Amino acid sequence: MKLFSWITKDTNINFLGARKLTYLISGLSIILAFVCIGVKSFNYGIDFSGGILMEIKDEQVINLDQLRSELSKLDIGEINLQTIGESGDEVMIRAQAKTLDEKAQMNAVNEIKKILGSEYEIRRTELVGPQVGDELKKDGIIASVIAILCISLYVWFRFEWQFALGAMLGLVHDIIVTVGLLSLFQIDFSLTTVAAILTLAGYSVNDTVVTYDRIRENLRKYKTMPQEQLLNKSVNDIFSRTLLTGLTTLLASIALLIWGGDALLSFSFTLVWGILIGTYSSIYVSTVILNWFDLRKTIEEREKDVNPFGNVG
């Protein structure tokens, strides 16, 4: 109860007082993300890399060395085996058969099934050709870029261009740091991951728009308050809402991460991290950047421009 009352009470935290430190943290995070991507690249899933993916299950613990020895007889390129869960009776078979066309991949799957025999239960089979994988990779990048641009245009239409710039930089920051983390831990990067990144973008901008609404309201309400103080007040005004929304969403995402299984690992991991980084960026990227501009002057000029009646006596 004490924790709940602390979350819901009014706060008076000097968020902008730490902006120089957060500039450094955000800058280093982006640099490290690019370094990870350049050095380690991504652990592309079958969606993007192309190849064969099969999940099998046995009634007892599967001997990976024996299974690998049997599958190595096939001429389908590198074959990776990965245990699913902790019991050891489920294994993921991944063959990077990039040089094989669709017909050859189907033949390879049939050959794998012959080796496995009736001893194993085949729970999942996926086939993606190299050309399709490249197209999906390109479409994933295009979808992410379009999402960022559309969100920025929406914020620009609803607020001012300074707000749109802050929202866009916050989204770019979140996505770069997130994909850098996926590269660092070599988590599968697939279409499911792209879906999680777009979900992260939506969550992040929702938090940002709520903060922006309060900033615009306070700009009209407190005409003489210094801008830095006003931005701090605006963030503090909705801070309890930010914490409660973040915590409830985080609990659901953590449950998905723990019990969702390997198939949803990249999605749930990206969501959990996205909630944390999205909350951070809505304050220390999207909001802090607004202090670079004279917002009160911009708001007043826009309200004059959109008033169709002028000063009516």
Residue 189: CA count within 13 A, CB half-sphere = 23
Task: Label residue 303 by pLDDT band (50, 70, 90).
Answer: low
> Mean per-residue pLDDT for 105-125?
77
Whether the CB-CB separation of 290 and 163 falls below 8 Å is answered with: yes
Whether the CB-CB separation of 124 and 53 falls below 8 Å is answered with: yes
Higher pLDDT, 36 or 191: 36
Q: What pLDDT was estimated at residue 299?
A: 62
Whether the CB-CB separation of 125 and 112 falls below 8 Å is answered with: no
CA distance 255 to 269: 11
Does domain 51-128 correspond to CATH entry 3.30.70.3400? yes
Question: Does 204 have pLDDT greater than 60?
Answer: yes
Q: Residue ranges per domain, the chain? A: 12-43+133-301, 51-128
Q: What pLDDT was estimated at residue 298?
A: 64
> Mean per-residue pLDDT for 178-202?
86
Distance of CA 135 to the CA centre of its chain: 21
> Mean per-residue pLDDT for 140-165?
82
Higher pLDDT, 196 or 140: 196
Task: Label residue 132 by pLDDT band (50, 70, 90).
Answer: low
With 0-12 / 13-18 / 19 or more C-beta atoms within 10 angstroms meaning exposed / middle / buried, residue 66 is exposed
Task: Label residue 27 by pLDDT band (50, 70, 90).
Answer: very high
For the stretch 220-238, pLDDT in tens is 888 888 888 888 888 888 8
Higher pLDDT, 12 or 181: 181
Fold of 12-43+133-301: Multidrug efflux transporter AcrB transmembrane fold (1.20.1640)
Q: What pLDDT was estimated at residue 313?
A: 38
CA nearest neighbour of 269 among 171, 170, 190: 190
**Residue 87 to residues 31, 63, 84, 207, Cα–Cα distance (Å):** 39, 12, 8, 40
CA distance 19 to 187: 31
Higher pLDDT, 310 or 129: 129
